[in-house]
Chains A and B, each alone.
Chain A
Amino acid sequence: MSFLVLVPTKRVPDTDGVIRVVPGELDVDTSHLSFVINPFDAIAVEEALRLRERRDDVEVVVVGIGGEAYEDELRTALAMGADRAIRVDAAEPLDPWNVAGILAELARRLGPRLVLMGKQAVDDDSAQTGQFLAAQLGWPQATFASRIDDSEHGAEVARETDYGIETLSVTWPAVITADLRLNEPRYASLPGILAARGKPIEEMSLEELGIEIEPRVELVGLQQVSSQRTGRRLENVTELLQCLRENTELF
């Protein structure tokens, strides 16, 4: 019996890119940004591939929810070694609730034993989608995973928490979200991407899935947090702490 691992991935701006809000708009200037696969999702893809190397019955399916441009990121995942990809055509951005809804429907249709995804997306930083999905499906969840030891009926998962490493056991099927220290993803080069051309990217629509988008989060404002790097010289510690109080959320 095949062990299907579903890996949802998100297309996000490269974290080295400079983020600038377009004045007067609820959007950031994307014209100069490179888009990449969300780093935490790349870790999830890597972990799924390692799972496949350990067992011999694993199929790794990556999912992207968005427009045609998403195919680049899906090809990267395929180049890393995923078996096939699914793109659900939808207008971005979607909030975590709706993304989870779409993934839940996919999960019901595809029957994965494991949904493995990044703990958060580096643009939204919500870290909610995995948990929403687990709740909608009624599956056990293990978030911020830094180690997954799989077995026949489930897995032992080590989680990064504020107070140390917590180890949980979950039974399949389960939702696991990946933390930074889970692994280092392999590099996908052009030859890998070429080889991946033979792998299919299936396109699905929201209608097919019977999904209607019900937005839960409405963006009403976007403000640039100034980061001038002016190297302002301060005279003494008192001044410094005052500046920090005014300019950070740390006090």
Chain B
Amino acid sequence: MHVLVLAEHDGDRLRAGTTAALGFARRLADGDGDQVTCLVLGDSLATVADDAATFGPVLVASHADLAEPLADRWAEVTAGVMRSESADILLGASSTFSRDILGRAGGLLGGAMASDVTGFHRDGGHLVWQRPMYAGAVTASVVLHGNPLIVTVRPTAAEPPERSSPPASITPVEIDLGRLPTSTGHLGLDGRPSHRPDVTEARVVVSGGRGLKTTEDFERLVGGLADRFDGATGSSRALVDAGLAPNDLQVGQTGKVVAPELYIAVGISGAVQHLAGMKNSRVIVAVNSDPHAPIFEVADYGIVGDLYDIVPEMIRQLDAD
């Protein structure tokens, strides 16, 4: 089995998701003769290629026309490499990058694709993939029919592999420039004003309520905890009313409706207006000093106590991991 992993990088190093995907690929390609190759596209890729080569063999497609990750070009090149390498599985970390490019590559390669995979097992000769459906309420097990297979995996589904020394081979790939589509152009990238993901998209949301006393506390505790999960921050209407959080962080019936994997409600009492905005979260954790706060009735897990003690402790323990 030959697994090709499409690298997502920042021009210097592979992004964390890709290293996790490489780890996942290793688990798939664990037999004799199995192979995991990392495909790196872009321009001026020397540093990235070196980084990738510490994980295994690397194929590099470097050209000015590939400087930006435009799906039509990158998918074309990727599909071409898949065919020329006769690879069996095209893998990437589940991210906007991969969904965009691997999605299109999947369309060029016959459509046997599974997205956002969290695990796999073998059943007879088949690979059975686990993936979430209905916003994570249900885990589906699917078998893909076709060749090659295209899979995007959750970064939490695997650990990055050990880096090897000496680094593996880096092989350039020939690009047929004439075949590269030109109907898409890159006009710019505006970095996020906040380093945090949007509250409606994040996997983890940490939300603060009236239990917090100052804006600084909100940033330190709620923001700090969210950062440990690469998550987003949210707030209850009460906190916005108190002027301690901006309106666009408000989660609730008249604010944002969110459904993350994990929703941590810090110092929030749990009025129905707030509930309406987060009730579809997969797992809800409540931290509140009032043992009778209604939020505990909708939480999966709760800790009664002072958030000013509990949240720093959470941060400390997460950092220690």
Contact = CB atoms under 8 A, between A and B. Distances in A.
A–B touch (CB < 8 A): the answer is yes
Interface of A: 13, 15-16, 19, 21, 28, 95-97, 100, 122-128, 130-136, 138-144, 154, 156, 159-171, 174, 180-181, 215-225, 227-238, 240-241, 243-244, 247-251
B283 A233 contact: no
Given A19-B138, A127-B103, A217 B112 contact: yes
A34 B19 CA distance: 41
Contacts of B229: 250
28 contacts: A16-B280, A123-B133, A125-B135, A133-B107, A134-B71, A134-B104, A135-B105, A136-B107, A140-B72, A141-B72, A141-B184, A162-B96, A162-B97, A163-B189, A215-B145, A217-B144, A219-B141, A225-B282, A228-B300, A232-B300, A233-B302, A234-B303, A237-B313, A244-B285, A248-B282, A249-B154, A249-B157, A251-B156
Contacts of A249: 118, 154, 156-157, 261
A220 to B, nearest CB: 5
B180 interface: no
B63 to A, nearest CB: 19
A233 B99 contact: no
A28 B139 CA distance: 12
Nearest to B123: A220
A165 B132 contact: no
Nearest to B190: A165
B18 interface: no
Nearest to B95: A162
B54 to A, nearest CB: 23
Contacts of B272: none
B321 to A, nearest CB: 8
Nearest to B112: A216
A237 B137 contact: no
Interface residues of B, number: 86
Given A163-B189, A229-B284, A249-B118, 19 more contacts: A16-B280, A97-B107, A125-B132, A126-B113, A126-B114, A134-B72, A139-B183, A161-B96, A168-B185, A215-B145, A218-B145, A221-B141, A222-B140, A222-B141, A223-B139, A231-B297, A237-B314, A241-B314, A250-B156
A97 to B, nearest CB: 3
Interface of B: 70-72, 75, 95-97, 99-100, 103-108, 110-116, 118, 123, 128, 131-146, 154, 156-157, 181, 183-192, 197-198, 200-201, 203-204, 229, 259, 261-262, 280, 282-286, 296-304, 310, 313-314, 317-318, 321
A17 to B, nearest CB: 9
B141 A162 contact: no
Interface centre among A159, A165, A215, A237 (most CB of B within 10 A): A237
B313 to A, nearest CB: 4
A225 B190 contact: no
Contacts of B191: 163-164
Contacts of A144: 96, 100
Contacts of A170: 183-185
